[in-house]
Amino acid sequence: MVMTPEVLTLSETPWLFTGVMLVKIAVAFVVTLLIVAYATYAERKTIGRMQTRMGPTMTGPKGLLQPIADGLKLFFKEDIIPAQSHWAAFILAPMMILAPAFISIAVIPFGGDLHFNYDGVLYAVPMQITDLNIGLLFIIAMAGLGVYGIVLAGLASNSKYALLGGIRSTAQMISYELAVGLSIVVIFMLSETLSLRGIVAAQQLPLWGLESVSYIPNWYIFCQPLAFGLFVIGSMAEINRTPFDLPEAETELVSGFCTEYSAMKYALFFMAEYANMITVSAVATTLFLGGWGGPFYGWINFLLKVFAFMFFFIWIRATFPRLRYDQLMFLGWKIMLPLALVNIVLTGIAILLW
């Protein structure tokens, strides 16, 4: 006899629900932190190999303990707060950058449902911390929050380089958020939902609903390649990765908005950068590459796609020089924004005609 799984709810089984939720949060958080730590290692190793170097080799076998050593070092360093800075904002800023980066993970589905028996009842647990029905809006909102941390860091440091970095990143993130936001509007139009779970489910169907090519899934990258390109470029700009790393352009602004930061606060900025990279990869995977769908078991697909994205970001960093400020603005407002709008209109027409 096949039992229909029950969905856990807070009203019917409050304790079980809370327990399961806490476990999910803990797992997601720890895994993300681990990926953040080892993303730095992977970046150094990958870029090292691309540049005919070795990368870290000394700390632990093949340098595997390097992220931990770095973390420990930064943790025990002297925490300098410049005398002329606004100390409250100075301390708050790194936290304000890191928190949104992690919160976005909450709405991303990692895999299909887990089923388990408890008290003779079969329960289904989605591998997603919470399925908000406005999941995508939530992610965009959180990405928007991240900019406050950078602006605050730039202002509170009371340093000219930090200020310039802060101003640059505000302008950059606001303009690219627009392009990124508009580029994913087409996804809502196709899936008719804002829930990420729903978007993933829609991508499990065969391509364009054609039964003849049922072996190709309906990933939105196939029907919206332009939106995908815009999203990836735009999110690279939003998370300040090369070639859009102007806010912290080392050779121009020393270190941009984090010039005056040291020790653990600097480490928080550093972690935020990589956490953002993971978030963006996860969102791109969910929106365009069918989330956890694929040949392997649920979350393995998801992780593989996320890692592929991160490798892509690292690869770009080893290849491209940095854009100039005015060129960046030009690209954002005059190329990406119109393209995203055109894409929306074309998609609308296509949906009407079908």
Binding residues vs another protein (CB under 8 A): 47, 50-53, 160-161, 164, 168, 242-243, 245-246, 249-252, 254, 317-327
Residues 6+ apart with CB under 8 A from 90: 81, 82, 153, 156, 157, 260
Pairing between β-strand 121-127 and β-strand 6-7 as defined by DSSP bridges = parallel
Compute the least distance from the CB of residue 220 to another protein, in Å: 27
- Provide the minimum distance between the beta carbon of 51 and another protein in the complex, in angstroms, as a whole number: 4
Q: Which is nearer to another protein, 106 or 246 (CB)?
A: 246
Distance CA 83, CA 35 (A): 35
The answer to whether the beta carbons of residues 242 and 252 sit under 8 Å apart is no
How many Å apart are CA 149 and CA 269, to the nearest integer? Answer: 10
* Closer of 221 and 254 to another protein (Cβ): 254
* Closer CB to another protein, 56 or 291, in the complex: 56
CA distances 153 to 160, 170, 281, Å, are 12, 11, 25
Alpha-carbon distances of 343 from 213, 307, 309, rounded to whole Å: 25, 28, 23
What is the nearest approach in angstroms of another protein to the Cβ of residue 80? 16
Closer residue to another protein (CB): 177 or 245: 245
Beta carbon of residue 330, minimum distance to another protein (angstroms, whole number):
9
Nearer to another protein, 20 or 47 (CB): 47
The least distance separating another protein from the CB of residue 170, rounded to whole angstroms, comes to 13
Q: Are the CB atoms for 181 and 238 separated by under 8 Å?
A: no
For another protein, the closer of residues 97 and 323 by Cβ is 323
* Least spacing, CB of residue 12 vs another protein, in Å: 56
CA-to-CA separations, 85 to 91, 146, 154, in angstroms, rounded: 10, 21, 10
